[in-house]
Amino acid sequence: MMQEAGFNVVRLAEFAWIFMEPEEGRFEFGWLDEALGILAAHGISAILCTPTAAMPAWVPRKYPEVMALQKDGTRLTWGVRKNNCFTSGTYRLLSERITRAMAEHFADTPNVIGWQTDNEFGHPFCYCPTCRADFQDWLRRKYGSLEELNRAWGTHFWGHRVTRWDEIVIPDNPEGHNPSACLDWQRYFSWLNVRFQRDQVRLLRAVCPRHFVTHNFMGLFPELNYYDLAEDLDFVSWDNYPVWGKPEVPYAASAAADLMRGLKRRNFWIMEQTAGPGGWGVFGRNPRPGELRKVAYQQLAHGAEGNLWFRWRTCTAGREQYWHGLLGHDGRGLRRYQEAAQTAQEYHRLAPELEGTTVEPQVAIIYDYDSLWALRIQPGFAGNSYTAAMQRYYNALFRAGVNVDLVRPTEDLRRYRLVLAPELHVLPDQVARRLIAYVEAGGVLLADCRTGVKDDTGLCHARTLPGLLSEMLGITIEDYEAVPEGVEFRLDWRPAEEGQAGSLPHAANQFTATQYVDWVTPQGAEVLAGYDEWYLRPFAAVTRHRFCGGTAYYVGTVVREPEFYDALIALLLESAGVKPLVQPPPGVEVSIRSGHGKRLLFLVNHTESAQTVKVPAGGTDLLTGEQTGETLTLPVYGVAVIKL
């Protein structure tokens, strides 16, 4: 059935440690050899997984210290997954042993093409004495001296200065502990996962040099610095499950794809793609007819190079009995299987045209894990979320039909015409100078509220906000406030001085400011919007400043209406000279893959009604073979791939 569907790769063994090492030191791979042989006979390759996300029962029976310790001092109970302590030397050695045994056994198996490390890194946090001691060692390596650590953490406050490394505790209460310590604990936990993976990657590369190594990331998952986790891999893969709740435009799946591509600035794989209703105890809705195909094409449009559905057949046993596959419990090839088969066969036809292409945006959003973590520790105002701040702008760019890269703060920005830096809360001086240089050289930059508050240790800059960016932005912020729930202000667009374009094109005159307000004083910047509240009238809400060769915008509040961000993005794109190729109707996604002299326009209809799109005439729809006119109609959940 897999062969008939056009499937050519299967992932295996991610939780199969007990079947490969039923007792310590005794390995049994015959069953997996048999499975791989069956797959090979049908022309199907395999990706093998290091099975260290779910340990056999004999491991904690013999070595109870491998189980993660919870805050209350009790060990996690064996019987779930992701329950190991990453600092346990025993667990690291056992993981190395099973990884080496697998690598050596399957190094020359013809249809094994690559490896996935572990499974969905990110849990659990452990509070055992070994983790505490290792955290102390990590801090010693980072800071070099207690004097520097005390300075970086500001431990003079509350008299929390430490005089010995072993006095440092795990800051297990982010709402009460020192925020700098909490930030370093999050960084340390991320590093632990990176180190654990690195041990496996080095071994796999040494034993299986012809195989690729990847890992199944989780999109916008917040616990790990994915830039760091991606460094040791050949390419990134990720697990995409956008079918939850009522049908809606999956903005987050699009943003996650762009982040996955941005981690290594190269295309990615989908290692797990929605195959049916998901859930452990309670399952979600069934994908609508055409939705599985649409979900897959959204990822293809953003740079996916491979697509694996999870799972093949719905399990009849275990915790994931309700995490449905392409086949149901009965194993019959019904609607979802047939839709996946259609998608796979279309992918094979498209493959020659896709070869050598990727997404090459003119717009970037800086996505910073330090700022994300610092704002989780101290949001500043109720409801503040770094990811939500990013999505406000990202969603508007999506609606405008513009591709985006999500990149780290230290990325070379010169390739982009427009850069957005939402809530860049942790702003080291070197990053601030890079942003200034970008605008000086002609770039268009947007910054917004809570930017530049902290340095890289989590201490507040002793500067008037927005710190080093003040001159470039042409503003100062001497005061700010959280807006209580139930309170809101009218945001009015104000005409700029005569002879200067200052209003938003096609925008309504009034919007609603909520949650937070910067009291922005222009210092050379144009005022594009202000407030109607009496005490806020002297201050700006939105500004624009021509600086050297470029332009810098600042938004000092959170606006309720998505239309505000649509209008603002239209102004930013015009300012940066970025012209969308297609202006899509609501709910239709546009993406372009290009390279090797090819340019492919993807259109994806995320709505449950037909949509007509204005497209460049004279192209070829590669799915139908028809030449495009001036418009193209997409059916419900329809897609098009147009060769321009």
Whose structure tokens read 């201490």?
459
Per the CB < 8 A criterion, the answer to whether 346 and 360 are in contact is no
Residues in contact with 152: Cβ distance below 8 Å, sequence separation at least 6, in sequence order: 143, 180, 457, 458, 459
What confidence tier does 373 reach under pLDDT thresholds 50, 70, 90? very high
pLDDT at 503: 52
Quick check: 297 pLDDT over 90?
Answer: yes
Pairwise CA distance, residues 603 & 590, whole Å = 5
How sure is the predictor about 510, in pLDDT bands with cuts at 50, 70 and 90? confident
E-only strand ranges, 483-509: 489-493
Looking at the structure, tell me whether residues 572 and 592 fall in a common domain.
no
Asked if 374 and 397 sit in the same domain, the reply is yes
Using the predicted structure, report yes or no on whether residue 496 has a pLDDT greater than 80.
no
- In the block, residue with structure tokens 């030397």: 89
Other CB atoms closer than 10 Å to residue 468's CB: what's the count?
Answer: 17
Do the bridges between strand 45-49 and strand 526-531 make them parallel or antiparallel, or are there none, so unpaired? unpaired
Q: How many residues does the chain have?
A: 644
Task: For residue 511, count other CB atoms closer than 10 A to its CB.
Answer: 25
Mean pLDDT along residues 538-557: 98
Q: What is the dihedral of CA 129, 130, 133, 138, to 10 degrees?
A: -140
* Helix, strand or coil, per DSSP, at residue 519: strand
Question: Helix-strand-coil percent breakdown of the chain, rounded to 5?
Answer: 35, 25, 45
Claim to verify: residue 520 and residue 634 sit in the same structural domain: no
In sign, the C-alpha dihedral spanning 252, 13, 4, 319 is negative
Is the C-alpha dihedral spanning 110, 112, 114, 118 positive or negative? negative
pLDDT tens for 250-293 read: 999 999 999 999 999 999 999 999 999 999 999 999 999 999 99
584 pLDDT tier (thresholds 50, 70, 90): very high
Provide the edge-to-edge strand list for the sheet that holds 268-274.
Answer: 216-217, 237-240, 268-274, 304-310
Annotated catalytic residue within 120, 291, 339, 411: 120
> Can you tell me the mean pLDDT for 416-421?
98
192 and 43, same structural domain? yes
Q: Which two three-digit tokens encode residue 169?
A: 């505790």
The whole-number average pLDDT for the span 553-576 is: 97
Residue-level pLDDT at 508? 55
What is residue 478's three-state secondary structure? strand
- Domain membership of residue 309 (yes or no) is no
**133-185 per-position pLDDT tens digit:** 999 999 999 999 999 999 999 999 999 999 999 999 999 998 899 999 999 99
Count Cβ neighbours within 10 Å for each residue of 257-283 and write b for 16 or more, e otherwise.
Answer: bbbbbbbbeebbbbbbbbbbbbeeeee
Q: Domain end: 576, 611, 635, which one? A: 576
pLDDT value of position 355: 97
Q: Does some domain include residue 321?
A: no
Over residues 220-251, the pLDDT tens digits come to 999 999 999 999 999 999 999 999 999 999 99
What are the residues whose beta carbons fall under 8 Å from the beta carbon of 377, sequence distance 6 or more? Answer: 174, 179, 182, 183, 186, 458
As a whole number, mean pLDDT of residues 505-518 equals 80
pTM exceeds cut of 0.75: yes
Does residue 330 lie in a domain region?
A: no
Tell me how many domains the chain contains.
3
Q: Residue 493: what pLDDT?
A: 80
The CATH number of whichever domain residue 569 belongs to comes to 3.40.50.880
User: In this structure, are strands 237-240 and 304-310 parallel, antiparallel, or unpaired?
Assistant: unpaired
Q: How confident is the model at residue 411 (pLDDT cuts 50, 70, 90)?
A: very high
Classify residue 172: in a domain, yes or no: no
- 462 token code pair: 């002793």
Q: Which of 532, 554, 576 is the last residue of a domain?
A: 576
- The closest of 633, 599, 594, 598 to 615, measured between CA atoms, is 633
Q: Where are the alpha helices (H) located in 107-178, listed in sequence order?
A: 129-143, 146-153
In a shared domain, residues 491 and 622: no
**Residue 263 maps to a domain:** no
d(CA 350, CA 307): 13
Q: What is the pLDDT of residue 500?
A: 42
Residue 193 domain-assigned (yes or no): yes
* Edge-to-edge strand list for the sheet holding 620-621: 588-595, 598-605, 639-643, 620-621
Last residue of a domain, one of 523, 554, 576: 576
User: Are 418 and 495 within one domain?
Assistant: yes
Q: Does residue 498 have a pLDDT over 80?
A: no
Question: For residue 297, which phi and psi values (nearest 5 degrees)?
Answer: -70, -30
Q: Which domain holds residue 604?
A: 588-643
- Domain-located, residue 477: yes
Residue 246 lies in a domain: no
90-137 per-position pLDDT tens digit = 999 999 999 999 999 999 999 999 999 999 999 999 999 999 999 999
87 and 218 within one domain: yes
Answer whether residue 197 shows pLDDT above 50.
Answer: yes
Residue 509 pLDDT exceeds 70: no
- Local structure of residue 467 (DSSP, 8 states): G
Express each pLDDT in 463-484 by its tens digit.
999 999 999 999 999 999 999 9
Average pLDDT rounded to a whole number, residues 203-208: 98
Based on the residue annotation, tell me whether 120 is a catalytic residue of this protein.
yes
Res 392 pLDDT > 50: yes
**Judgement on whether residues 609 and 461 belong to the same structural domain of the protein:** no
Lowest-pLDDT range, 262-271, 494-503, 593-602? 494-503
Tell me whether residue 563 is one of the annotated catalytic residues.
no
| pLDDT attached to residue 504 | 58
The DSSP call for residue 386 is H
Q: Which whole-number Å values give the CA distances from 561 to 195, 392, 450, 485, 491, in the listed order?
A: 43, 10, 20, 16, 11
124 upstream amide cis, omega within 30 of 0? yes
Name the residue with tokens 């332009």: 551
559 and 602 fall within a common domain: no
Asked whether residue 192 falls in the same domain as residue 118, the answer is yes
> In this structure, what token pair is assigned to residue 366?
């800086």
My answer on whether 618 and 484 are in the same domain is no
Do 612 and 557 belong to one domain? no
Percent of the chain topping pLDDT 70: 98
We report the CATH number of the domain holding residue 19 as 3.20.20.80
The residue from 223, 272, 411, 526 that is catalytic is: 272
Average pLDDT over residues 492-500: 55
